[in-house]
Amino acid sequence: MNRKQILVTGGAGFIGSHIVDELVARGDDVIVLDNLDAAAHAERPDYLNPGAHYIWEDVSDAVNVRRAVDGAEAVCHQAARVGLGVDFADVTDYVADNDTGTAVLLGELFRSGFDGPLVLASSMVVYGEGQYRCGEHGLLRPGPRDEDRLRQGRYDPVCPRCERPLVPDAINEDAQLDPRNVYAATKLHQEHLCKLFGDETGAHVSLLRYHNVYGPRMPRDTPYAGVASIFRSALAAGRAPQVYEDGGQRRDFVHVRDVAHANVLALGAGARGAFNIASGTPKTVGEMAAALAVAFPGAPGPEVTGAWRTGDVRHVVASPCRAAAVLGFRPQVSFADGMEELAAAPLRTPRTS
């Protein structure tokens, strides 16, 4: 394979650093642009790959982005503020980091004459609630959950036409998008901006919709961490993981090394469009908490709290078939092996924790 100069934004972070490792291992020249955001890093991580060149600046800084994109033959855009955050007051930070940062990057790529490939780290949150099947009315997408039902502990959506129970079904990339929180809205806007860039320049743009990514190098328990990290942090501290609702929420937990490999495949495939990056084997949040707890003898088991969050969804499970057919992506790390590894892996401590 020909050696390429590849820019990875957010390449010191959880997913980005694993992408850097794989690109360096195959012989590429890797430039990393990362601002070491305090929400994710207490200090410069000790896992940074010495084979990459690092620019410690923000993706919203046009001058330094211009320096980073100079000579880039491919770009993997991972830099973003993630998670649900604290509350709506986080909106300006999310828009600045995700929307404005992406706009600055794309503007500098356009000025440099870059024509791809470009890979964007998107998310399954752009779907909102997942897809369901009603025995009488077939496939459908329910609207936002009713808060009165949630207070009564009735967490699963029902058919809006007959009010019968619904069965979760795997969602594909052609489903209508329905972001239901600030983070989701910014990820969808990132997708729109990147697609427009591809339309304007002819660049091959791949939008990778990550499902629930977990594994080594996750940040510790913060409002911006994933649920696997939050549970892992609780267990390591001897606390019971607090499982919302009844623990029956279905998600697709996919290992970070599989996600990193999907990015590398997308960089080489020259593919256009959106792709679910998922394991294809959904689990409930309760099952995930229980699997992690097994690895911490003596720690209290998960506690089901019945609590719920506005803007959260019940079930989102995905079909990874398009990623398999177009990118050649097939996850390799099993849920059991991945959870065992996560239980033993050190987590990063952010400065803002």
Mean pLDDT, residues 3-7 taken together: 95
Whole-number Cα distances in Å, 34 to 56, 100, 101, 276, 347:
5, 15, 11, 25, 19
4 pLDDT exceeds 70? yes
Give the residue with greater pLDDT, 107 vs 312.
107
Residues composing the chain = 353
Mean pLDDT, residues 38-50 taken together: 83
pLDDT tens profile 305-350: 999 987 788 999 989 999 999 999 999 999 999 999 999 988 777 6
Q: For strands 131-134 and 53-55, give the pairing.
A: unpaired
Tell me the pTM.
0.93
34 pLDDT exceeds 50? yes
For residue 353, the model assigns a pLDDT of 45
Compute the distance between CA of residue 79 and CA of residue 13 in angstroms, rounded to an integer: 8
Q: Are the beta carbons of 168 and 132 closer than 8 angstroms? A: yes
pLDDT tens profile 155-209: 999 998 999 999 999 999 999 999 988 999 999 999 999 999 999 999 999 999 9
Mean pLDDT, residues 265-276 taken together: 94
Amino acid at position 276, single letter:
N
For residue 188, the model assigns a pLDDT of 97
Mean pLDDT, residues 66-73 taken together: 96
Q: For strands 5-9 and 74-77, give the pairing.
A: parallel
pLDDT above 70 covers a percentage of the chain that reads 95
Compute the distance between CA of residue 259 and CA of residue 265 in angstroms, rounded to an integer: 10
Residue 94 annotated in active site: no
**Of these residues, 54, 155, 183, 210, which one is catalytic?**
183
pLDDT tens profile 21-31: 999 999 999 99
| Residue 56, both tokens | 């410690």
